[in-house]
A = this chain, B = another copy of it.
């Protein structure tokens, strides 16, 4: 998937939070600085979420180090760490970092079926 499409989908989620009355920001240089940083940081004055966005066609690998950095940032800042996944022809699903599927190589993998079974839809997520 192109980087532009990834950015477009990240913006989609950013706007979905605003539409539902959460404050939301996209993080500058996420993935490019040596310091840990999520893609989005959102809050509604009760909950604070650090979100790593992943998009793909059918399946998506996630490096273990990236998840560890998300947890590191979240602990320091004081936010809940979440992976938000968006596959073609499906809405966003939220996965807790303890809900990811290991690969043999020590990283993680998510696919459509896994999201449906283990993920939380955006609508349910913001209801919680």
Interface set of A (CB-CB < 8 Å, partner B): 18, 21-30, 35-38, 41-46, 48, 73-79
Contact = CB atoms under 8 A, between A and B. Distances in A.
A42 B76 CA distance: 10
Contact of A45 (B36, B43, B76): B76
Nearest to A7: B28
Closest 7 CB pairs between A and B? A45-B78, A23-B77, A23-B76, A43-B77, A26-B28, A28-B28, A43-B78
A74 B28 CA distance: 18
Nearest to A10: B28
Contact of A27 (B28, B36, B75): B28
A78 B73 CA distance: 18
A22 B75 CA distance: 10
A78 B26 contact: no
B78 A48 contact: yes
Contact of A78 (B30, B35, B36, B46): B46
B23 A26 contact: no
Contacts of A18: 35
A62 B38 CA distance: 30
Given A23-B78, A25-B38, 5 more contacts: A25-B27, A25-B30, A28-B30, A43-B48, A43-B78
